[in-house]
Amino acid sequence: MIALRPAQLALARGEARLLARLAELEGQLEGADAPWLEYAQLLATLAAVAPATAPGSLGELITTRQLAERVGLTPKTVLRRMKQQGVEPIRFAKRGPGALRWSAR
């Protein structure tokens, strides 16, 4: 397991607070005094923070499912392309759900 640095922990806490505030504002967007500016600013900030807190952002290994979500494919398609294009994951076992891991970088 990779230890998080204080700055990374702060980013993760900040991301959680941004998400909570966005949820609060979403309930107010239908009113006449809708807080659209604050909502848009929070979305932009979250978009800037998200890559630093995503799985694999520290160089750790991610699962096939996480890789598939990141590139917009199904896990089955990722595995098929692995065979077709010769991309080699890191193998921990011959088979099973935990057998393959991918470098997130």
pLDDT tens figures, 8-51 = 788 889 999 999 999 999 988 887 788 999 999 999 999 998 88
Whether the pLDDT of residue 4 is over 70: the answer is: no
pLDDT at 18: 93
d(CA 80, CA 18): 37
pLDDT one-digit tens code per residue, 44-94: 999 998 887 776 666 677 888 888 888 899 989 988 888 888 777 777 766
Q: Report the relative pairing of strands 90-91 and 61-62 from DSSP bridges.
A: unpaired
Alpha helices, H only, 1-105: 6-26, 36-53, 64-71, 75-85
pLDDT at 88: 75
pLDDT class of 1 with cuts at 50, 70, 90: very low
pLDDT one-digit tens code per residue, 91-104: 776 666 667 777 76
| Residue 105 vs residue 19, higher pLDDT | 19
